[in-house]
Amino acid sequence: MKHEPIVPKAKTAGSALPGRTKRRGVELAAHVLRPTGHVVDAAVLDLSYEGCRIRTGEYLWPGEAIKLSVPRRGVIKAKVRWCEHGEAGLAFDPQTRKPTRARVERASTRVPAPFEVSLRRIGHIAFRVDVRDLSPTGCKIELVERPAIGETMHVKFEGLEVLEGKVRWIDGYVAGLSFIRPIHPAVFDLLLMRLKAK
What string of pLDDT tens digits covers the 198 residues of the chain? 444 433 444 333 344 344 444 444 557 888 999 998 889 999 988 888 888 899 998 999 999 999 998 877 778 889 999 999 999 999 988 765 444 333 334 344 677 767 788 898 888 888 888 888 898 899 999 888 888 999 999 998 877 888 999 999 999 889 999 999 888 888 888 888 777 766
In this prediction, residue 50 carries a pLDDT of 85
* Residues forming a β-bridge with 157: none
Q: How far is CA 156 from CA 42, 55, 77, in A?
A: 26, 24, 26
pLDDT at site 142: 87
66 Rama sector, left if φ>0, alpha if ψ -120 to 50, beta otherwise? beta
CB 19 within 8 A of CB 55: no
The confidence score (pLDDT) of residue 25 equals 52
Phi-psi region of 99 (alpha: psi -120 to 50; beta: other; left: phi over 0): beta
pLDDT, position 144: 80
Asked if 46 and 27 count as a contact pair (C-beta separation under 8 A), the reply is: no
